[in-house]
Structure 1
Amino acid sequence: MAIELLDSANVVDTSQACIGTKAAVPTTDVLGRIANLETRLARTASEIDAAQAVRYKVFVEEMKAQVGPEADRRKRDVDSWDAICDHLLVLDTSIEGDAEDQIVGTYRLLRQDVAERSGGFYSSSEFAIDALLARHPTKRFMELGRSCVLPDYRTKRTVELLWQGNWAYALKYGMDAMFGCGSFPGVVPAEHALALSFLHHNIRARDDWAVSARPELHRTMDLMPAEAINAKKALAALPPLIKGYMRLGAMVGDGAVVDHAFRTTDVLIVLPISNISGRYLNYYGADAGRFGGAAS
């Protein structure tokens, strides 16, 4: 699941850029910087622990997700995938203390080659990912998940840095497509009939990119006929992160899955790199250099 706390709606519109460029990213491990905020991968186990504490604050304390007694005792959101993922961080360097004290946002990244050596993707617990991967044997996929930002930092700058970090990471490892769960609040899909139906009729992944919820978990997204959907109202009803992925050029899989532990209704987001809107490539830079230099 991915809690919907990020919004890329404010990213500026610019002219078209070349799609599909795979230039080298900067050699420093800092992937982006805006003023006092920077994004990079976690360097130590203690930084991952601090990111898990941020996730606990957002997912459990704020969003009321259910976790096990040990996680509650430690006040950490932890699962078995944490050990094999890279953890993208946003840090506020103006906060006094160690890096662990500066973490204000996080994203979890998992490359296909790592997943295949280590038990698969998290999303496979809800969606039939294997069929999608099998149709693209020459493409390299990465999974995005566990996105969250502390309340005081849910701003345009933080969101831009998270997208910057994801893009720089994808370039560094030569990724061809991204995917991950996007979430609606609550466990009753019918409460999101307008938004789910809009996604189903308008941006559903098809043909070689088609992917479905696992049959035993599949909940229909086709809750309203296409002619009954008011597109403007549907867009307004979409969670910010899903709306942001849409603007990038993402598609959604067929069927939603109810995650009772996190109290969400999940859809699968699929984003081929070749689909990414030119205006975003131009804004962040085909080489991920937009926020890669000195503070701005």
Structure 2
Amino acid sequence: MPASIIVDSASSGAAMAALAGKAHRSAGTLGRIGNLQTRLARDSSEVAAAQEVRFRVFYDELGAKRQFVHALEQRDADRFDAICDHLLVLDTTIPGPEHRQIVGTYRLLRQESALAAGGFYSDEEFELESLMARHPDRRFLELGRSCVLPEYRSKRTVELLWQGIWAYCRIHGIDVMTGCASFHGTVPAAHAEALSLLAHNFRPDPEWDVRAIAPRYRSMDLMPSEAVDVRRALAAMPPLIKGYLRIGARFGDGCVVDADFGTTDVFVVLSTDWIANRYINYYGADAQRFAA
């Protein structure tokens, strides 16, 4: 579910104007590894550049449908961009203005912003509201629109993104991270082994479970547990989903087919309490420094 609400150029312009007038809460660096650094977008030009990166990945590379995208804009944009923070990865060796150094992005939507605007993006596919109602004392963050340009898709870039996300969570007192993650293609059976592994081995306890909304629910339990080759199933998973698994995430009940973006979406739930200590220690020192 990279994107399914694409706005026309007039709506996009209004959203960008709102972004331009928004005083940013945290413009400093949130992480750094070598020549790469991560921080939040500081102004509308940087958000627009992140939207261009998203367009290159979701539309040019992965073939999302273009009928709702303005031909001249070449940007992936929706109404949520104006209320989100945009985590950026920048390659500081690229010459020119900083917005041209953006090589990856992640969209961050905090609970208070979502509620003020009428809900989360993933509400269109999964029953997130019921999960939040069960945990009124927790602060939720929705992660979405993750993408990195092909030449930067490395373990180092993933680690930098998580360093930035962890620092952001420390700054804002986040307790639970949620969001959609995608398999490429609209036929769940093509990912039967990987989806079945998630269904059998990586489901949350009932109090943390989230179900796909009824009209769009598709089963992930496509193979019996004993027929799943764990190593092969893990190898077939997208890197983002494997990254969530390494951190300690769990996955909701059912998947959703997004025909516009050509994906099969699953729902990720990650309480900060579940993150293994080795990852807290790994990301924590730098994150604490950048969150201070």
TM-score (norm 1): 0.88
The yes-or-no answer on 1:273 pairing with 2:266 is no
The yes-or-no answer on 1:56 pairing with 2:55 is yes
The residue type paired with residue 235 of structure 1 is L
* Structure 1 residue 138, shift from structure 2 partner: 0.4
Match of 1:7 in 2: none
Conservation of the 8 A alpha-carbon contact between 1:71 and 1:77: no
Deviation readout 1:254-279 (Å, 9 max, x if unpaired): 00000001100000000000000111
Residue 179 of structure 2 aligns to a residue whose secondary structure is: strand
Match of 2:89 in 1: 90
**Partners of 2:88 and 2:197 in 1: how far apart?**
32
Match of 1:157 in 2: 156
Deviation readout 1:194-237 (Å, 9 max, x if unpaired): 00011000011221101100000000001111111111111111
Conservation of the 8 A alpha-carbon contact between 1:183 and 1:267: yes
The yes-or-no answer on 1:205 pairing with 2:204 is yes
Spell out the pairing of 1:23-38 with structure 2 (5 A cutoff). Answer: 29-38=28-37
* Structure 1 residue 289, shift from structure 2 partner: 4.0
Conservation of the 8 A alpha-carbon contact between 2:27 and 2:42: no
Match of 1:233 in 2: 232
**Partners of 1:241 and 1:180 in 2: how far apart?**
12
Change (3 A) 1:2 1:286: farther
Match of 1:18 in 2: none
Conservation of the 8 A alpha-carbon contact between 1:67 and 1:77: no
**Partners of 1:70 and 1:262 in 2: how far apart?**
12
**Partners of 2:27 and 2:70 in 1: how far apart?**
34
Spell out the pairing of 1:66-215 with structure 2 (5 A cutoff). Answer: 66-215=65-214
Conservation of the 8 A alpha-carbon contact between 1:187 and 1:258: yes
Residue 273 of structure 2 aligns to a residue whose secondary structure is: helix
Change (3 A) 1:28 1:86: closer
* Structure 1 residue 156, shift from structure 2 partner: 2.1
TM-score (norm 2): 0.89
**Partners of 2:137 and 2:232 in 1: how far apart?**
39
Change (3 A) 1:139 1:287: farther
**Partners of 2:68 and 2:286 in 1: how far apart?**
44
Conservation of the 8 A alpha-carbon contact between 2:54 and 2:76: yes
The residue type paired with residue 192 of structure 1 is H
Q: Which protein is richer in helix relative to its size? A: 2
* Structure 1 residue 36, shift from structure 2 partner: 1.4
The residue type paired with residue 279 of structure 1 is R
The runs of 4+ residues in structure 1 deviating greater than 6 Å are none
The residue type paired with residue 174 of structure 2 is M
Change (3 A) 1:160 1:71: farther
Conservation of the 8 A alpha-carbon contact between 2:163 and 2:286: no
Change (3 A) 1:28 1:74: closer
Deviation readout 1:113-140 (Å, 9 max, x if unpaired): 1100012100100001111010000000
**Partners of 2:27 and 2:239 in 1: how far apart?**
30
Deviation readout 1:64-117 (Å, 9 max, x if unpaired): 011344433210000111010000000111111111110000000000011000
**Partners of 2:158 and 2:60 in 1: how far apart?**
22
Structure with higher RCO (Cα < 8 A, 6+ apart): 1
Match of 1:40 in 2: 39
Residue 215 of structure 2 aligns to a residue whose secondary structure is: coil
% of aligned pairs identical? 59
The residue type paired with residue 274 of structure 2 is N
Change (3 A) 1:64 1:248: same
Conservation of the 8 A alpha-carbon contact between 1:181 and 1:266: yes
**Partners of 2:93 and 2:51 in 1: how far apart?**
21
Q: Which consecutive residues of structure 2, in runs of 5 or more, have no partner in the other structure?
A: 4-25
Deviation readout 1:239-264 (Å, 9 max, x if unpaired): 11111101100000000000001100
**Partners of 1:175 and 1:193 in 2: how far apart?**
33
Equivalences, count: 269
The residue type paired with residue 62 of structure 2 is M
